[in-house]
């Protein structure tokens, strides 16, 4: 089953987050610097970074006890923001590109004014975050990290002058210093085209049905959502499925653009697919056949 949405916030909140993200980029002198200088940005936010093993033992040493107010750290073990000492603790065993995003996520907790004040109250023992508020703060911090890492609209501008192809976010990931995962999501979510990316876990072989591709997450462009709505994709695809048999497998890393029959009733139109196996996830960029004409015209 695909994971719940972890990056959407109301439009008014998104606008507010972008305002603060742009302000921090300016303070850091980081605009148009590549890869995005995360260390300079964290310093401009007046925070510091320390490496740690973010397990329960660390939390007990840091806080004396794993109370309800800090139990939030147990389900977010890649990074932790300490508002009292203004320190971001990171799990340094995490891959560098992902660590950069986590650093900016934690910076969001410390830089967005309403979050900074709320976490200070929590750690002072004067309040405790409601679980729904905590989840909303996590989404906000994720949006903040993406806006800073991809420099507000700069990523979208770069993408528009490059081919509409799965290789473009792969190349832009290197330029901005992000993971392919983060760049792929940004590429589709900010695209003016009707498209979606299906993100799968690495395939697992089943004797009777071949490779099983478990759907991890779906990201769609606004134009795709306007046209098809929230599509109910299957939880998994198999090697024999119209879409599954086009996904990279058997040591193949890339699937070139090809036609596939739509695997769902919500979309009756023929789809085009390009796919890439990063060895961590499998990405399938899809778009309807009607979108192909505009893509060909822009080439």
pLDDT tens-digit map of 257-276:
999 999 998 899 999 999 99
pLDDT band at 74 (very low <50, low <70, confident <90, very high): very low
Rounded-to-integer distance, Cα 55 and Cα 216, Å:
25
Task: Report the pLDDT value the prediction gives residue 209, as an integer from 0 to 100.
Answer: 87
Decide: pTM greater than 0.75.
yes
Q: What b/e sequence results for 153-186 when a residue is b if at least 16 CB atoms lie within 10 Å of its CB, and e otherwise?
A: ebbbebbeeeebbbebbbebbeebbbbbbbbbbb
Q: If we measure between CA atoms, which residue out of 209, 206, 162, 205 comes closest to residue 187?
A: 162
Rounded-to-integer distance, Cα 299 and Cα 295, Å:
7
Rounded-to-integer distance, Cα 8 and Cα 24, Å:
21
CA distances from 106 to 9, 109, 214, 290 (A): 17, 5, 29, 41
Task: Report the pLDDT value the prediction gives residue 158, as an integer from 0 to 100.
Answer: 98
Residue 77 has pLDDT above 90, yes or no: no
If you average pLDDT over every residue of the chain, what do you get?
A: 88
The two tokens of residue 81 are 């923001």
Rounded-to-integer distance, Cα 134 and Cα 188, Å:
27
Q: What b/e sequence results for 229-245 when a residue is b if at least 16 CB atoms lie within 10 Å of its CB, and e otherwise?
A: eebebbebbbbebebbe
129-155 tens-digit pLDDT:
788 888 999 999 999 999 999 999 999
Of all residues in the chain, what percent carry a pLDDT higher than 70?
A: 85
Task: Pick the range with the lowest mean pLDDT from 137-146, 161-170, 212-221, 284-293.
Answer: 284-293
CA quadruple 200, 206, 208, 209: dihedral, nearest 10: 10
The string of DSSP letters for 164-187 reads SSTHHHHHHHHHHT--HHHHHHHH
Task: Report the pLDDT value the prediction gives residue 51, as an integer from 0 to 100.
Answer: 74
The string of DSSP letters for 109-134 reads HHHSHHHHHHHHHHHTTS----HHHH
168-188 tens-digit pLDDT:
999 999 999 999 999 999 999
pLDDT band at 69 (very low <50, low <70, confident <90, very high): very low
Rounded-to-integer distance, Cα 152 and Cα 157, Å:
10
What number of residues does the chain have? 299
The two tokens of residue 162 are 């490059």
Find out whether the peptide bond into 35 is cis, omega within 30 degrees of 0: yes
């Amino acid at each position: 089953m695909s994971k719940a949405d972890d990056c959407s916030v109301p439009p008014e909140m998104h606008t507010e987050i972008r305002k603060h993200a742009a302000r921090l980029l300016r303070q850091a002198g980081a605009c148009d610097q590549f890869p995005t200088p995360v260390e300079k940005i964290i310093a401009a936010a007046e925070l510091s970074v320390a490496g740690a093993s973010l397990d329960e033992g660390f939390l007990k040493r840091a806080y004396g006890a794993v109370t309800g107010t800090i139990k939030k750290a147990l389900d977010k073990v890649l990074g932790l923001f300490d508002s009292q000492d203004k320190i971001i603790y990171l799990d340094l065993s995490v891959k560098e590109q992902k660590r950069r995003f986590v650093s900016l996520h934690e910076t969001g907790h410390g830089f967005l004014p309403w979050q900074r004040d709320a976490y200070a109250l929590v750690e002072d023992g004067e309040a405790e975050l409601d679980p729904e508020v905590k989840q909303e703060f996590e989404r906000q911090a994720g949006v903040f990290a993406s806006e800073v890492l991809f420099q507000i609209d700069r990523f979208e501008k770069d993408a528009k002058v490059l081919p509409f192809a799965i290789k473009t976010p792969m190349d832009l990931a290197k330029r901005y210093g992000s993971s392919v995962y983060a760049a792929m999501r940004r590429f589709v979510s900010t695209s003016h085209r009707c498209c979606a990316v299906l993100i799968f876990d690495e395939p697992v072989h089943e004797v009777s049905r071949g490779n099983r591709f478990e759907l991890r997450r779906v990201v769609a462009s606004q134009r795709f959502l306007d046209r098809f709505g929230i599509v109910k994709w299957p939880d998994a695809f198999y090697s024999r499925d119209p879409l599954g048999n086009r996904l990279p497998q058997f040591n193949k890393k890339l699937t070139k653009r090809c036609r596939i029959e739509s695997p769902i009733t919500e979309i009756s139109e023929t789809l085009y697919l390009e796919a890439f196996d990063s060895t961590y996830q499998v990405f399938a960029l899809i778009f309807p056949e009607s979108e192909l004409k505009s893509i060909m015209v822009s080439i």
